[in-house]
Structure 1
Amino acid sequence: MAGKKSALDPEVLRQFSFFASFSKDQLEEIARNAPKVACKAGEVVFRQGDRSATMYLILKGAVKIEREDSAGGIISVGQLSAHQVFGELAMLSKEPRQATVTVTKNAEFLVIDRKMMLNIIAKSDPEEIIEVFSVLSEQTRAANDREFKETLSRRTIEAQMEVEKQRALTQLVAGVAHEINTPLGVINTAVSIMARELAEPKEITTQRAADIAESLELMRRNVERAHRLVQDFKKVSVSQLMDEKDTFDISEAIKETVDLVMVSLKRNQIQVKFHDKLSPNQKRWTGYRGFLSQILINLLTNIERYAYPNGSSGSVDVKIELENDTHYRLSVTDYGKGIAREHQTRIFEPFFTTGRSVGGSGLGLTIVHNLVKNAMKGEIRLTSEVGKGTTFKIILPKVIVE
């Protein structure tokens, strides 16, 4: 931020409600002594927790105000533009900044420090002082109201996102329950065959022994299949409930989730291939198994619903590889309908969906985005072309640091 002495017309200050009651002399003093500061889009004016007793008048441009809550989530407090003021409460109270302010459009500010403001107030008559604090009170009330509404909206979204997570898990349960009926049915048939063979008091011939052995092998394979399904589901479901950080084989965790989701995808003739590009010494990941599973479940469920709708067949490639020495790259690619360009910038927004009629909540990709960005300190990138398909690339640190 570059600062320079102001050559400002004092009457410009009257466009700010904060200075509506100030006299001409007071406005001239501010215009004469307060420096101008220019900032480019993307620059941070100050951060939450900073100590600086200054307030800012936006002469041109725009800023966004964000606050981090106790859980580490980012709350959007609001957007401000020309002829609005920020930082006035911290200037007067000398308390740490309660939010982070970032320039969103090239801006120019007039900066007033605590000493200058107190000097001006000291020269004011009681009525002017009351008016100043009345304006401050109104702005504080408005800021609190904005934050309350934002917090309420965020809590509502969080609650609905939790419902969406449970819905995905419920669908997984239904899929596993349906799939497990197949090996159980085979086992039941094999047991019936064996019971019939053994119930007849005949000599155990080579053929009868072979039939019994075949039935036993059939039972063994299907018990193993059912056991594997249950174990995979147990790992995925328990990890989703616990959300604990651990060090484990990332390739194995991905395969377990993909195998589970494939249970339901196969019914719609969607084939998922997992491509593990990691060498054995690259697979140890310090992260969240549950979050990783949730991301994959949501992405694959979305593919079933939107990329290959109405039971149409198709294929999906899931790939894990190194992005660089410190990060993995997880890619999920389909070759279906694709996402229209005008929708691509909005797909991570809460409640945005083009599939309300087919059960879409508009929260599946919001959950993915929040888990990747906030919980796993990663990035998510989208490339898509209508009629050719979609790829989500997720960049994850090898070790997630809190």
Structure 2
Amino acid sequence: EFGRQVETGDALRRTALLDFIAHCRDAAALVEKNSHRAADLIGNFKQVAVDQTSMRRRSFDLRQALDEVLSTLQPKLKHTQHRLEVAVERGIVLDSFPGPLEQIVTNLVTNSLLHGFEGIEAGLIRIEGAPTGDERVALSYADDGVGIPETLGKRVFDPYFTTKLGGGGSGLGLCIVFNLVTAVLGGTITLSSSPGQGARFDMLLPRVAPQTATTGEESCAT
């Protein structure tokens, strides 16, 4: 209405002007909100990039580290109907290596998208974590995908094992996960899965990681 009155030279109505001002305010608020979201996302990308390209040890909040890496994975999920839930309270502080932890989550999500949700339109990924009371944290990652047969489940952590060779799978993703959990973070990881029942990875991580650690990738590359 405001634009039409301006174009035709008609006298501006007060209501049209007020509506125009209201629309401008709404648009400005939306731009500001999106700019803040973009700034937060860029900040998360930067932090994750720094962590994942280094073996820097530091104290960090587990939930915050998960939120940061999962925000960088949203572009992989936004064109799908898959959902991702996180049930980890804030305040669980680890003296460890956030980069390897973020790489573990990235590899597990990638594995679900590439293998677990094959033929599934709307899958669910759920990450849970809580202290165990003995200076460790129990962290689980589960999807409700197609699952893994027992015969294959025994080999998923082996180097170069993949059912997607030539189709996007390198066979190193879960091997790297295993080595990062055990050799870098000083924890353990087990797989529970069966066909049609999804896959669940249970990790026990010390709140204080070992003082010496490798990159976790050497034994997967040889």
Q: Tell whether the structures are fold-level matches, with TM greater than 0.5.
A: yes
In structure 2, how many angstroms separate the alpha carbons of the residues matched to 1:311 and 1:388? 13
Match of 1:271 in 2: 83
> What is the identity, as a one-letter code, of the residue corresponding to 2:160?
F
Amino acid at match of 1:268: T
Aligned to 1:208: 20
What pairs up with 1:106-121 in 2 under 5 angstroms?
Answer: none
Q: Which has the larger radius of gyration?
A: 1
- Which one has a larger percent strand, Structure 1 or Structure 2? 1
Alpha-carbon distance, 1:221 to partner: 1.4
- Aligned pairs for 1:363-378 within 5 A: 363-378=172-187
Give the SS at the match of 1:361: coil
Question: Quick one: which of 366, 372, 389 aligns to 2:198?
Answer: 389
CA distance in 2, matches of 1:244, 1:224: 28
SS of 1:351's equivalent in the other structure is: coil
What is the aligned partner in structure 2 of residue 181 from structure 1?
none
Structure 2 SS opposite 1:267: coil
Q: Which runs of 5+ in 1 are unaligned?
A: 1-195
Matched, 1:257 2:69: yes
Task: Evaluate the alpha carbon distance shift between residue 312 and residue 358 of structure 1 in structure 2; reply closer, same or farther with a 3 A threshold.
Answer: farther
Q: What is the deviation of 1:279?
A: 5.7
Runs of 4+ in 1 over 6 A off after TM superposition: 199-204
Equivalents in 2 of 1:324, 1:279: separation in Å? 16
Aligned to 1:342: 151
Pair 1:221 & 2:33 matched: yes
Is 1:290 matched with 2:99?
yes
2:59 is matched with 247
Tell me, what secondary structure is at the counterpart of 1:205? helix
Aligned-residue identity in percent: 31
Q: Which of 314, 334, 343 does residue 123 from structure 2 map onto?
A: 314
| Displacement of 1:310 | 5.1
Task: Tell me which amino acid in the other structure corresponds to 1:392.
Answer: F
Pairwise CA RMSD of aligned residues? 2.1
AA at the equivalent of 1:230: I
Q: Residue deviations 1:223-253, cap 9 Å, x none?
A: 1121122111111111111220000111100
What does residue range 171-182 of structure 1 map to in structure 2 within 5 Å? none
Shift of 1:401: 2.6
- Structure 2 unaligned blocks of 5 or more: 212-222
SS at match of 2:126: strand
Superposition deviation, residue 326 in structure 1: 0.8
Does residue 168 of structure 2 align to residue 356 of structure 1?
no
Q: Give the structure-1-normalised TM-score.
A: 0.48
CA distance in 1, matches of 2:46, 2:166: 32
SS of equivalent to 1:208: helix
Contact 1:269–1:311 (CA under 8 A) maintained in structure 2: no
User: Which 10-residue stretch deviates more, 350-359 or 200-209?
Assistant: 200-209
* Greater share of helix: 1
